[in-house]
Amino acid sequence: MGVTTVTDVRLTDDADGVLNTLFRSEQGGHEQVVLCQDRETGLKAVIAIHSTALGPALGGTRFHAYASDEEAVMDALNLSRGMSYKNALAGLDHGGGKAVIIGDPDQIKTEALLLAYGRFVASLGGRYVTACDVGTYVSDMDVVARECRWTTGRSPENGGAGDSSVLTAFGVFQGMRASAQTAWGAPTLRGRRVGIAGVGKVGHILVEHLLEDGAEVLITDVRAASVDRVRAKHPQVTAVADTDALIRSDLDVYAPCALGGALNDDTVPALTAKVVCGAANNQLAHPGVEKDLADRGVLYAPDYVVNSGGVIQVADELHGFDFDRAKAKATKIFDTTLAIFERAVRDGVPPAVAADRLAEQRMAEGRRK
């Protein structure tokens, strides 16, 4: 097993290839980036530790067929930075980290590959705690945990909390309630039209919360089976052809619940919704999108704030999981989201900027301890 470790990821002029990608990162210096390869199993992975100011880095493992290794590295950098901010505003004693495994999970995921990945995570000695993300599941974490004790999101049978999507969806719903309170004066989605892009692990649970609250729900997903599953259980839900059609539908709330970059120069001008609140990570495609949303009168609930229910759940697992305790903490996402909207108005900045300021304040305080 070989490990390549890159530390202090900041701007430089004399690197090339993957290192240049790392050093060009506009997000500031990551503490550590580990490039992992196990030729026997076909494992290629990137583990990015953005910050341990508040405690061991915590974040999931994404398994995805990236177009290039450089794209995978950048995704790990972006996602790990987001986890630092997410964990800070969730009130967790954890920094931010994320891992990506490169490849199509339907084609290359094997028990041997996951065990090899677990050995790499274990080699970090607890600086990074892993969990599920896109392309990985509870059963996968059970395998990883056989080689690495710093693994969360395991099955209850193996001492874990189970699927973290449950509280992720619950937290997004709390953020959506806070958004409704701010936009329309009442913390409910009753009578509102909500469009969900992506009804996989998190999105299909969010559908349940919205229907129970009395919302009208529209959905789309690149996987027809995911749409069919929701429609079979809830025939009152409307399916649309694709994300472009969903965005252009007459909506009150748009909920991106798939991959990142959902809010960009093409989608923002087409939005009909007054509120954007969803589970996807890194929804803003580039700096400045948050201002574009504000200029159009769209209230944006920062993704890393409202989707933190899952990390709250897996963090609780490290202390002997108690669902009621974790859910009570995830309920506070409502209050945190409201506080961010209030600070945004007070400071005269978009909510995304207000959220960043609050998170950076907590991380700075953690470093001084």
Tell me the average pLDDT across 48-62.
Answer: 95
| Per-residue model confidence as pLDDT tens digits over 186-234 | 999 999 999 999 999 899 999 999 999 999 999 999 999 999 999 999 9
How far apart CA 163 and CA 167 sit, in angstroms, is 9
Count of C-beta atoms within a 10 Å radius of residue 263: 28
Tell me the average pLDDT across 170-174.
Answer: 98
Q: How confident is residue 369, by pLDDT bands cut at 50, 70 and 90?
A: low
Mean pLDDT taken over the chain: 91
Please report the beta strands in the chain, taking only residues with DSSP state E, as ranges in sequence order. Answer: 2-9, 30-38, 43-51, 57-58, 61-64, 95-102, 128-129, 193-197, 216-220, 238-239, 253-256, 275-276, 299-300
* Residue 6 clears pLDDT 50, i.e. is over it: no
pLDDT of residue 3: 46
pLDDT of residue 7: 45
Strands 57-58, 43-51: pairing is unpaired
Q: How confident is residue 4, by pLDDT bands cut at 50, 70 and 90?
A: very low
How far apart CA 109 and CA 190 sit, in angstroms, is 42
pLDDT of residue 29: 76
SS3 136: coil
* Residue 20 clears pLDDT 80, i.e. is over it: no
* Residue 278 clears pLDDT 50, i.e. is over it: yes
pLDDT of residue 162: 87
pLDDT of residue 25: 47
Please report the beta strands in 52-192, taking only residues with DSSP state E, as ranges in sequence order. Answer: 57-58, 61-64, 95-102, 128-129
Question: Is 274 among the catalytic positions?
Answer: no
Q: How confident is residue 10, by pLDDT bands cut at 50, 70 and 90?
A: very low
Please enumerate, as own/partner, the contacts of 17-24 that have beta carbons within 8 Å and a separation of 24 or more: 17/70, 18/69, 18/70, 18/73, 21/70, 21/73, 21/74, 22/73, 22/77
* Residue 16 clears pLDDT 70, i.e. is over it: no
How far apart CA 212 and CA 55 sit, in angstroms, is 37
* Residue 1 clears pLDDT 70, i.e. is over it: no
The residue from 44, 98, 274, 329 that is catalytic is: 98
Residue 11 φ/ψ region, left for φ over 0, alpha for ψ in the -120 to 50 degree band, beta for the rest:
beta
| Per-residue model confidence as pLDDT tens digits over 75-132 | 899 889 889 999 999 999 999 999 999 999 999 999 999 999 999 999 999 999 999 9
Q: How confident is residue 134, by pLDDT bands cut at 50, 70 and 90?
A: confident
pLDDT of residue 19: 61
* Residue 12 clears pLDDT 50, i.e. is over it: no
- Closest by Cα among 279, 275, 344, 324 to 305: 279
pLDDT of residue 319: 87
pLDDT of residue 74: 86
Q: Which of 24-33, 266-275, 290-299, 318-327 has the lowest mean pLDDT?
A: 24-33
* Residue 144 clears pLDDT 90, i.e. is over it: yes
How far apart CA 9 and CA 6 sit, in angstroms, is 7
pLDDT of residue 22: 60
